Structure 1
Amino acid sequence: MKQILSNKIFRIFLVAGLFTIANCPAKAQSHKTENVVIVTLDGMRWQEVFGGIDAALLNNPKYTRDKDNLEEHFGADVSLDKRKKLFPFFWSIIEQNGQLYGNRNVGSNVNVANPYKISYPGYNEMLTGCVDTGISKNDKIPNPNVTILEYINKQNKFADKVAAFATWDRFPYILNEDRSGIYINADDDTLSLSSSTAAMYNSINKITPRPLGCRPDLITYLYAKEYMKQKKPKVLLISFLETDYAAHNGMYDLYITSAHAEDAMIADLWNTLQQMREYKDKTTLIITCDHGRGDKIKEQWTSHGGLIDSGGTWIAVMGPDTQARGEVHTESQLYQKQIAPTIGKLLGLDFMPKDSTSLPIKTIVQ
C-alpha cells in the first residue's frame, strides 16, 4: 500500500514538474561574443559602399587624374558589380555572413545624430552613445565623456584588454588616454613590443613618406595586427584615415584605391582572427564611419559639415550573435550613437550613455 501511494505521489510531482518546465519561458542564451573589433573608415561615403565608383566623379578630370586605370579596376555596368570590385570582402564574406546597413536607396538609413557632421563629434557620438554639443570641433581637447572602450577597460574582466590604433592624431584625445588607461597608438607613435616584426614595422614607418601629412593606414593596420597577435586584446579599435584625407584634397583616385586597400586589410584581419583560437567563432567585427560627405551638389563630395548633406553613414557587422541577413532592405532608421551600447550588449555589459535613447541595435544583437 505504501509503495502504491509513493508511486502515485512521484507521478504527481513528475507531471507537475513537466508542466512547470513546459510553461516557463526559456532562459535567454548567453551571447557567444567574447571579443569585439571595431574598424572605421574615416569619411567613407555610403554612396560608394553600396554603389561602387561614382560615374560623375570618375568622369571629372578635376578629381580623377587617371580615369582609365580607375575604370579598368573598379568599373562595371551595374552598381552591384561595381561595389563588389571596390569592396570585395564587404560584398562576399560580410554579405553572406553578416549585415550591412545604410543603403538609403532601399530605405535603410543610418545617420549621425550630432549636427556637426565632422570627425571628433562623430567619433564621440559613436563611442559614447551620446551627442555632446560641447564637442563641435576637431580640437585637441580631452573628451569629458566616457567612451564604451573606457567603460569596458574599467571592468575587471577586461582590464588592460582594450586597445586602439589610429592614423589620426586626435584619438588620444577622443579616447582620453590619460583618464581611460587604454593603450592607444596613433599618428607617429611606434610599436613598443619586443619582437623582430615590431622592429621591422617601426623601421618601415620611420622611412615611409607622408604625402597626406599622416602615416599610411597600412602602418596603422600592421601595428594593430602585430599587437593583436601578441597581446590578444578583448576589444580592439582600428581607425583608418586616408579616405578622408584623399577626399578633402579632391583626389578621387586615391580615395577609391585607399578604400579598396582598407577592404583588403579588413579581409586579412578577419582571416587572422579566424586562425587564432582566442578569436575564432567568438569575435564580432563592426565596420563603420564617422560621417558622410556631400553629394546633392556633386562638388561637395570633398567636404562635410553642418551645412552639407553629409549625415548619412553606414554599418557593416559580422559575428556569432548576428544573424546573416546580408544587405538590409527593411526600411529603418539607425543612428551612430547606437553603436556604443550595441558593443556593450554584445559583451554582456549594460552601457548606459547620458542619452538614454541610445539603445542597442536589436537586429545586430538579440
Structure 2
Amino acid sequence: MKHLFACFFLLSLATIPQANNTHAALANTTTDSSTNIFIITLDGFRWQELFGGADDAILQNNHFTTDIDLMESMYGGSTAEEKRKKLMPFMWQVLAKKGQLYGNRRYDNNVNVANLYAISYPGYNEIFTSTTDVTIATNNKNNNPHRNIFELLQSNPTYKDHIALFTSWDVFPYILNEKRMGIAINSGYENINNANTDIEKNINSIQTNIIEAKEATRQDMLTFIAAKEYLNKNHPKLFYLGLGETDEYAHHGNYDMYLQKANEADNIIAQLWHWAQTTPGYKNNTTFIITTDHGRGANPNKWTSHGPFTKGASQTWVALLGKNIEALGEVKNSGQLYQKQIAPTIAQLAGERFSNETPINLASK
C-alpha cells in the first residue's frame, strides 16, 4: 500500500483549475495533420457507471461498499442523469455538451471489443493495433508482434519525436513493444529519466523511497502528475495517458474506491482539457479520445470480473471531444462500434490511414 503522505503530496501537485451506422461525426470530412491528439483510457471502467452513475445494486451491498452512507451522499441520486453527473461531472457537464459519447446500451447504442477475451492486453492490442489476434490471449509480458498507431505516426514528420506515453500499468512496454517502437513509455513505477525539475525529482523520490510495495499498477495520480510535467516541458502532439486504478479496485471488490477512482479520472481529464484550452498551439486544435479496454460483469454480483465467460465483459464505450468533433452529445440512435476502429480514427485525425477498419468518423447525425 502507498503511504498516506504520498497521496497528500500528489494532490498538492495536481492543482490545475478546473461498425454499422453509429459513427462519431467529424465537423469536416477532411482533417489536417497539425491536430494534437490526446488518448486517455480508464482500465476496466463499465459503461453502466459512465451512463448511469453509481449502480444501486452494488452501492447498497455492504459486501462491496464499505461506507454505504458516504457513497450514497457523494454519488447517489434518484435518476441515472443525476448520479452520473455526480460521479463524472466533466463528462456530463462539458464533454456531453461539446463532444460525443457512445455506448449507452439502454438506447441500443453499442460499443464492444472485437477480440475474444475481454481482458486488458488483448483490449489494448485491439485499440492501438486494430487487430484481434487470437494468439494474444493473456496479460503476460510478451512483446506484441503487431505494428501500433504510435509507430505509424512516428514516421509522420508532424508527429515524429513529439509522442508521449504515460501509463499506470507496467505491461504497456510489452503491449506497444517499446523496444521495436523506439518511443519511450513511462510505465508503472518507472522513474522519470533526466529528472531536472522539482516535481520530477519529487516523483522519483516517492517512487524510490516512499512506496512500500511497487505493484504492477502505479497510482493514477502519480502517473498523471508525471505526464502533466512532461506536457509542460515538451508539448507533444500525440499524447497517451493510460489510467489503471478503476480496474484494480474493481478486482478487489471495493466499490467505494472504484467510484472514487472514476471520479478522480474524470477530474484528470478535466485538468488535461483545461490545459489544452489554455496552452498556445493546443487551444481549439486538440482532439480527445477517451475509452476503456474492456467491460465487466453486467450482473451486480459479477461486476468485479471480466473475461471471455463473463457476460457484459465485452461491452465498452468511447467518448470524443475537441477539434473536428461535432457536438452530438450522448448518441442515442442504435448502432455498433468496436474498439478496433479507434486506431484508424486516430490515424485519420492525423491525416493518415491505418488498417482496413472503418474509422469512427463517417457520417453526421
Find the aligned partners of 1:74 and 1:154 in 2 and give their Cα distance.
Answer: 45
Deviations 1:314-353 (A, max 9, x none): 001101101000000011100000000000000101112x
Output aligned runs, 1:1-366, within 5 Å.
Answer: 30-31=31-32, 34-192=35-193, 193-206=195-208, 207-208=210-211, 214-295=217-298, 297-309=299-311, 310-352=313-355, 356=356, 358-362=357-361
Find the aligned partners of 1:319 and 1:209 in 2 and give their Cα distance.
Answer: 40
Find the aligned partners of 2:364 and 2:144 in 1 and give their Cα distance.
Answer: 28
Change (3 A) 1:256 1:324: same
Question: Could you tell me which amino acid in structure 2 is paired with residue 181 of structure 1?
Answer: G
Question: Could you tell me which amino acid in structure 1 is paired with residue 359 of structure 2?
Answer: P
CA contact (8 A) 2:169 2:216 kept: no
Which shows bigger deviation, 224-233 or 30-39? 30-39
Change (3 A) 1:66 1:126: same
Find the aligned partners of 1:31 and 1:154 in 2 and give their Cα distance.
Answer: 16
Question: Could you tell me which amino acid in structure 2 is paired with residue 361 of structure 1?
Answer: I
Q: 1:43 is paired with a residue of what secondary structure? A: coil
The answer for unaligned runs of 5 or more in structure 1 is 1-26
Question: Could you tell me which amino acid in structure 2 is paired with residue 350 of structure 1?
Answer: R
CA contact (8 A) 2:168 2:220 kept: yes
**TM-score of the two chains, using structure 1 as the length reference:** 0.88
Q: Offset of 1:202 from its aligned partner?
A: 2.2
Find the aligned partners of 2:361 and 2:204 in 1 and give their Cα distance.
Answer: 41
Deviations 1:234-281 (A, max 9, x none): 111100110001011100101000100110011011101111112111
Question: Could you tell me which amino acid in structure 1 is paired with residue 303 of structure 2?
Answer: W
Q: Offset of 1:196 from its aligned partner?
A: 1.9
Change (3 A) 1:210 1:74: farther
Q: 1:339 is paired with a residue of what secondary structure? A: helix
Bigger RCO (CA 8 Å, 6+ sep): 2
Deviations 1:44-99 (A, max 9, x none): 00000000000010111110000011000101110100000000000011011100
Q: Offset of 1:209 from its aligned partner?
A: 5.1
Q: Offset of 1:201 from its aligned partner?
A: 2.4
CA contact (8 A) 2:34 2:158 kept: no
Q: Offset of 1:33 from its aligned partner?
A: 5.7
Change (3 A) 1:259 1:211: farther
Q: Offset of 1:232 from its aligned partner?
A: 1.1
Find the aligned partners of 2:202 and 2:214 in 1 and give their Cα distance.
Answer: 21
CA contact (8 A) 1:33 1:321 kept: no
Q: Output the aligned Cα RMSD.
A: 1.8
Change (3 A) 1:169 1:365: farther
CA contact (8 A) 1:114 1:121 kept: yes
Change (3 A) 1:78 1:219: same
CA contact (8 A) 1:243 1:259 kept: yes
Q: Offset of 1:135 from its aligned partner?
A: 0.5
Q: 1:100 is paired with a residue of what secondary structure? A: strand
Q: Offset of 1:211 from its aligned partner?
A: 8.9
CA contact (8 A) 2:31 2:350 kept: no
CA contact (8 A) 1:210 1:216 kept: no
- Match in the other structure for 1:4: none
Q: Offset of 1:189 from its aligned partner?
A: 0.7
Q: 1:333 is paired with a residue of what secondary structure? A: strand
Find the aligned partners of 2:331 and 2:62 in 1 and give their Cα distance.
Answer: 34
Q: How many residue pairs end up in the alignment?
A: 335
Percent identity for Structure 1 against Structure 2: 44
CA contact (8 A) 1:345 1:365 kept: no
**TM-score of the two chains, using structure 2 as the length reference:** 0.88
Find the aligned partners of 1:115 and 1:325 in 2 and give their Cα distance.
Answer: 31
CA contact (8 A) 1:291 1:311 kept: yes
Q: Offset of 1:208 from its aligned partner?
A: 4.2
Find the aligned partners of 2:203 and 2:329 in 1 and give their Cα distance.
Answer: 36
Q: Offset of 1:213 from its aligned partner?
A: 5.5
The answer for unaligned runs of 5 or more in structure 2 is 1-27
CA contact (8 A) 1:99 1:316 kept: yes
Q: Offset of 1:204 from its aligned partner?
A: 3.3
Q: 2:272 is paired with a residue of what secondary structure? A: helix
Find the aligned partners of 2:211 and 2:325 in 1 and give their Cα distance.
Answer: 39
